[in-house]
Structure 1
Amino acid sequence: MKKSCFSLCLSLLIALMMGGPALAAPAIEVDSAKFDIGKIKEGTKEKVTHTFKLKNTGNDTVTIKSVKPG
């Protein structure tokens, strides 16, 4: 009886340990995915900057692999 209970508990522990990382997933929240810079005259030295605010709402690390212009 004790041996079967120990085996059951050990199996359950292993299953939980293997399933843990699969449940962890990154999720990202973006305040605004687009930004319109409007019209800028060619040759102007005016600089346009914008900060995109990102928030990791998941329970794992978010990795940004690339960023491309629209």
Structure 2
Amino acid sequence: MNAKELRDLSDTEVREQVKTARREVFGLRFQHATGELENTAGLRNAKRDLARVLTVARQRGIDENTKA
């Protein structure tokens, strides 16, 4: 999802995107550590997606660790 699409989301949807992106990065890091990850470029892309979502959240002043 690109930054323009993220900016169009509501605050709760941005929080959900943060949770989803963090889960994805964790899963890919775990797979990489155990040697199960075949597409290592996916880890890089997932980290960038997480950073993109966190940037939008911080620009809005959303604390992604709290519930709405």
Bucket of the pairwise TM-score, normalised by the shorter protein: 0.3 to 0.5
- Normalized against structure 2, the TM-score is what? 0.32
Structure index of larger Rg: 1
- Normalized against structure 1, the TM-score is what? 0.32
